Structure 1
């Protein structure tokens, strides 16, 4: 076993037909019993497999065996970003932006294909020894415009990075992923999640109403311009966020150099 979450478990496995080691995600059995979910699972897995972007984990195959939905993916040597942060602590601003930049490219490619990831978090970002980053779990993505996902089966850790509209019945677009990516950038810089909370109710209320945190207040070595970048990325209204993940990273790059940050100032 490589890991487990709210939707299932991931194993290192040997593909006897292709003669290769893969990462095999097995979804919880109750999901296979839902015919509507099965149709969506196959549709979105196929769409994700078509995305040719180097920072998205390639999907080899998907389907159902003995009543269990599976996704067969490339096995990448490395650790997830959550483990990396727990081991090394906060990353330098330039390293943090470098990793987020790669994931932004993956997200923009997915959004261009009409897919919303919906579960951007450090545990779903793999980082190799050379700091090459991959975004995983695209087989569980949803088509843009789908309403907010049900919270049943959602891993508790996912709530830490969840956009405000995810707690409502409004449509969910790629800007929900941008909100989550801004949360991950904050954690890379500070080593802490944006809204540390003792309870789920407090956490949800923070996403809905609390102002975005300012990482430069936690560490003087973090450029103050990154506060503005993260604040716009975490705007409560999706329309106020960066238009693309790469636009957010471009602004972060400017903040690292002290140059003026492109784009409209973040809403207060």
Structure 2
């Protein structure tokens, strides 16, 4: 772990922001230009080749996409990268359903932009959607398990790298992801942000896998009487087991959710 005041490759550490998995994130500033603030992500010393490859993908995919709601990456070195600092926390910290849906609309636009560049994020979830300090701008982060469709059209993941509560059935059965994979994960995210829990709130790995593969989509309006039944049907289509049965775009899906809850 780095301490405040330490230097790292031309940057000065201000504070630790967080630590999770195999990496730590710090708020840093440029040693020659203190006004230039960044987030510095560094892999642990016990890093393995898979973690290094994931960090490289995280940098390369985000760097290739220019969109106001996709995190900007700046520099990369052996086991580290710098990116813009988003300091408002994760989307779940927004206090109202309306604010969360507004943020989801921004993320839907970012995902459609990503898909237009033949990239699938593959790990959409509330923790990967950050909000700026003013609460007005949502930002999609962590492209570490993203897939470029042009390069990986036949890619069959050996294991699920995405987060299980938000994993589409095709990921769990070893099929190549597609744009609809992100639609499914965005729908799981929307359910959690609206109701407080993902659509299949199982604690066990096998329970989650079984639910994504075989259970019908939930009907949240039965548990939350303030939700219209239209919300159930919109979610059901987005959570269809077959990718071809889901919405054609993330924007279409979120627009319908917003309209149903207005």
Determine if the TM-score, normalized by the shorter chain, exceeds 0.5. yes
Question: Residues of 1 paired with 2:183 and 2:147: CA distance?
Answer: 15
Q: Is the 8 A contact 1:229 1:252 kept in 2?
A: yes
3-state DSSP of counterpart to 1:216: helix
3-state DSSP of counterpart to 1:160: helix
Question: Cα gap change, 1:42/1:192 in structure 2, threshold over 3 Å: closer, same or farther?
Answer: closer
Q: Is the 8 A contact 1:148 1:167 kept in 2?
A: no
Q: Deviations over 1:152-193 (max 9, x none)?
A: xx47xx211111111122111121111010001001110112
**How many residue pairs are counted as aligned between the two chains?**
241
Question: Residues of 1 paired with 2:68 and 2:76: CA distance?
Answer: 20
Report 1:1-268 matches (<5 A). Answer: 1-16=16-31, 19=34, 20-28=36-44, 33=49, 38=53, 42=56, 45-64=59-78, 69-82=79-92, 84=93, 91-92=96-97, 94-128=98-132, 129-144=134-149, 145=153, 146-148=155-157, 150-151=159-160, 154=161, 158-257=163-262
CA RMSD of aligned residues (A): 2.5
Q: Is the 8 A contact 2:57 2:143 kept in 1?
A: no
Question: Cα gap change, 1:28/1:224 in structure 2, threshold over 3 Å: closer, same or farther?
Answer: farther
Q: Is the 8 A contact 2:57 2:145 kept in 1?
A: no
Q: Deviations over 1:220-261 (max 9, x none)?
A: 22232121221111111111111111111122233235xxxx
Give the TM-score of the pair, scaled to structure 2: 0.81
Offset of residue 56 of structure 1:
0.7
**Relative contact order, higher structure (CA 8 A, sep 6+):** 1
Question: Residues of 2 paired with 1:150 and 1:6: CA distance?
Answer: 17
Offset of residue 127 of structure 1:
1.8
Give the TM-score of the pair, scaled to structure 1: 0.80
Question: Cα gap change, 1:34/1:232 in structure 2, threshold over 3 Å: closer, same or farther?
Answer: closer
3-state DSSP of counterpart to 2:139: strand
Question: Cα gap change, 1:149/1:248 in structure 2, threshold over 3 Å: closer, same or farther?
Answer: farther
Question: Residues of 2 paired with 1:16 and 1:204: CA distance?
Answer: 47
